[in-house]
Amino acid sequence: LSKHMIIDKLTSIENEIQLKINELKTSSLKPTIIAVSKTFPIENILPLVKFGHAHFGENKVQEALDKWTEIKADNKNIKLHLIGPLQTNKVKFALKIFDYIHSVDREKLAIKIADEQNKQSKKIKIFIQINIANEEQKSGVKKEKVYEFFKFCKNLHLDVIGTMCIPPQEGNSKSYFLEMNKINEKLNLPDLSMGMSQDYLEATENKATFLRIGSKIFGRRN
Ligand SMILES: *Cc1c(COP(=O)(O)O)cnc(C)c1O
């Protein structure tokens, strides 16, 4: 996609979301769009950076370091979100480049993040990933374990700001989003990371605060 097209795509998604918010007539705030730039080269991403967009998502630590280290140093407003699974041996590096981790889902990882935060005197914003449809192949905490894991993270003084989910590819995300919304309210968490290119309007309706949108902005990934 050309530079102009990428900016146009983002702008039209922003407008669509604003219309949806208006239509809901609630006091919901407009969710933040995380432009998911994984696999795309930095040339494709720079137009959005220059346009002033601040939130970007990557799913691999090394790729994020390679692509973003310099640009982030030059653009202090940029916030990077790790949306993919994180191995404990990569936590050290993840903390150097990311501002948010959306995929915290096990005790060993939570402990490692807490340790590494102390070492680096840093604090990162955290989402607990929930395996909302209980799919065998997917990462995420089981629904019935969420509260326990949340308490575990709080005891480590992690800055848990919300929950995150990736609903099944096929079918309707709406019921899962509703469920996520309820879980988040129970935990009294301010943020909710859900909604991708296929279902960001449904996520908006269900009070997502961060939408993770990739292909609808940047085009198809290889
Ligand atoms: C790739 C990815 C997205 C973006 O997906 P699109 O369908 O391209 O919008 C969102 N969330 C996660 C966790 C992803 O891995």
- What is the percentage of the chain residues whose pLDDT exceeds 70? 99
pLDDT over threshold 70, residue 97: yes
Instruction: Write the CA distances from 114 to 88, 111, 162, integer angstroms.
Output: 11, 5, 17
**pLDDT of res. 63:** 98
Q: What is the pLDDT of residues 79-93, one digit of tens each?
A: 999 999 999 999 999
CA angle 69, 127, 165 (to 5 degrees): 110
Confidence grade of residue 1 (pLDDT, cut at 50, 70, 90): low
Can you tell me the mean pLDDT for 94-113? 98
0.95 exceeded by pTM: yes
> Mean pLDDT over all residues of the chain?
96
Confidence grade of residue 25 (pLDDT, cut at 50, 70, 90): confident
Within 10 A of 48 (CB to CB), how many other CB atoms are there?
Answer: 21
- What is the percentage of the chain residues whose pLDDT exceeds 90? 93
pLDDT over threshold 90, residue 193: yes
Say how many Å lie between the CA of residue 119 and the centre of ligand 1: 31
Q: Is residue 196 in contact with ligand 1, taking CB distance under 6 Å?
A: yes
CA 14 – CA 92 distance, rounded (Å): 34
Residue of the CA atom closest to atom 5 of ligand 1: 214
Q: Is residue 13 in contact with ligand 1, taking CB distance under 6 Å?
A: no
Q: What is the pLDDT of residues 168-182, one digit of tens each?
A: 988 789 999 999 999
Q: What is the pLDDT of residues 34-54, one digit of tens each?
A: 999 999 999 999 999 999 999
Torsion of CA 60, 66, 69, 74, to 10 degrees: -120
Contact of 170 with 116, CB cutoff 8 Å:
no
Question: Which of the listed residues 13, 17, 38, 83 should we mutate to test ligand 1's pocket, taking the one with most ligand atoms within 8 A of CB?
Answer: 83
